[in-house]
Amino acid sequence: MGGRSQEVLARRGEIMRRALGFDYAAFERTPIAFDYEGLMASHGLSLDDVRAIQRAAGVGGTPLIELRNLTDLVRSYAEPGYGARIFVKDEAANLAGSFKDRRASVSIHVARERGYEGVIAATSGNYGAAVASQAARAGLKCIIVQEAFDSRHVGQPEIIEKSRLCEAFGAEVVQLTVGPELFVVMLELLEETGYFAASLYSPFGVAGIETLGYEIAEQMRGLTGAPPTHVVVTHAGGGNTTGTARGLRKAGAHETQVISASVDLTGLHMASDTDFNRKSFTTGHTGFGVPFATWPDRADVPRNAARALRYMDRYVTVSQGEVFYATEALAKLEGLERGPSGNTALAAALAIARDLPRDATVVVQETEYTGAGKHHWSQLAFARENGIEVRAGDPADNVPGKSIVIPERPEQIRARDVDLDRLRRSYVRNALEHAPAGYEPTAEDVAFLAEDAHTTPEAVERIVAELRG
């Protein structure tokens, strides 16, 4: 990254202070620890306030649907007495077609209330469409900064689809080639325009997702008499896991296990020009999921409100072929044609439900809209055009960037566990490396790291001792 980029990033705290209306420095406690709950409460909105904002914005209150046919399918090959009931929260019912509308609704509300003329977001995903949709509804100008192409100016059909949708809502779309400039360009535009930063990683955005977790608990109590035993969340930058888990807790669903799921794209680098169009997925994969879990503050804001490692009870991966299989199964068995993101969690849920007793309940936490560029056949055709082998077989033979192996039978779908202790160690190492040279963690730091890594202070102390040994 060049000197100009480093200079802009060095000023991101100052830029974001003007673009969000609060100062992150107020929440810093030590070079490592900060007041996370204070940051999350800084917007001053209660959960009821957020729900009212979303109702007025045409967001939320989406249906929770029991997937009886998929449940029966899982039970057909599960051991006797096993095969949990599977449900899905149909977030495609939101205005722009995904749960990201929840994030955008709060940011746009705050921007309008504080008198900003427009909003800016950096995203190649559904969030851009959500921000553009909500900005149009609120009468605000909107700029979406998007990584869209490789150096040949070839873009994935899913990303191009989202560009068109943003433009349909009246947004200006700034398209970049792949690389580290996305957040830098966003920061420069914020300085130039004075617009509001509709960041994915602000407390406003994450607060918008809390209503999703709350609704899941609320609706499951109405359907089954209890919150779900398990919720499976597609994991990328961390906001989905964070907001959903916080909402579940606010609804009193403290026993619900939160399971994050990503597509395994091990070996593909997300900032690589050659890898960019070989991943066949734009989000919900390990290329974002692992880095953001082990160092969330790599975002456009000084402190990321999306801190997934703090909330995940389990983290699993599935292959691309398994997600495509789940996508088609959802359409053909349940009559729901939905895009690939939520179907990452669905693929994991099919494997997880098989190993749970029949009285357990598994909620797939979101769906997203589908369309010409987001349809799985478009993605598979694009993969073939980029030299990737697509075939039926055992998905264990899938090789990211080289082959997509679609299961021949549903029982071949597997959820592969990621070692959370390894992620915790990486997170603590990153925290130490970002502290000043020679800094020794205090008791306050250890307590913060333990909360942020979803572990104990004793475990953090052992990791620190091993790293410093």
Chain segment 12-56, per-residue pLDDT in tens = 889 999 999 999 999 999 999 999 999 999 999 999 999 999 999
Assign 399 to helix, strand or coil.
strand
pLDDT digits (tens, 9 = 90+) for 287-315: 899 999 999 999 889 999 999 999 999 99
pLDDT of residue 341: 83
Q: Which DSSP state fits 34?
A: B
Question: Which of the residues in the chain have pLDDT under 70?
Answer: 1-3
* Dist CA 352 CA 232 (whole Å): 9
User: What is the pLDDT, as a whole number, of residue 1?
Assistant: 54
SS3 annotation, 400-414: CCCEEEEECCHHHCC
Closest CA to 256 of 291, 219, 302, 293: 219
- What residue has token string 């395994």? 264
State the pLDDT at residue 214. 98
Q: In DSSP terms, which residues pair with 285 in a beta bridge?
A: 263
Q: How far apart are CA 380 and CA 363, in angstroms?
A: 27
Query: Rounded to two decimals, what is the model's pTM?
Result: 0.96
Q: Residue 178's pLDDT is what?
A: 83
Contact 446, 465 (CB under 8 A): no
How high is the pLDDT of residue 48? 97
Separation of alpha carbons 469 and 463, rounded Å = 10
